[in-house]
Amino acid sequence: MSKLKTVGCKAKFIKVVPQWNNHYEKCYDNICSIIKNTSNKYDLWLVSAGEIGRIYSGLIKECGGRSLDIGFLSDYWCNGEIPVRLKIFIDQNNLNPLEFMLTNQGMKYEKFL
């Protein structure tokens, strides 16, 4: 049996203008250009850019990259609040605040996760 080798991880960050600060006018074109020129140079893109993050994730995929939109997750890490539309399906684990638990309603979807 082969052993798994632990490897290092390199990360680069692209700063996005905060919500309600004219994101589209201040950085949208520049970020799209970066994505188009580098999308397939990375193993995975983690996108946390608000509503426009969906557009960036789609563009990354169109350009040959792989992307996960973790916007709600990063919001949770910052403020500890589960979005209202997800509260019926997930709850915070009392033993580990970084872990989610499925609610009774959420258990219906367990096989898809």
| Euclidean distance between CA atoms 72 and 81, whole angstroms | 9
Three-state SS at 96: strand
Domain boundaries, the chain: 25-79, 82-113
Assign 99 a pLDDT band (cuts: 50, 70, 90): confident
Three-state SS at 39: helix
**What number is the average pLDDT over the span 49-71?**
92
Assign 33 a pLDDT band (cuts: 50, 70, 90): very high
The pTM of this model reads 0.71
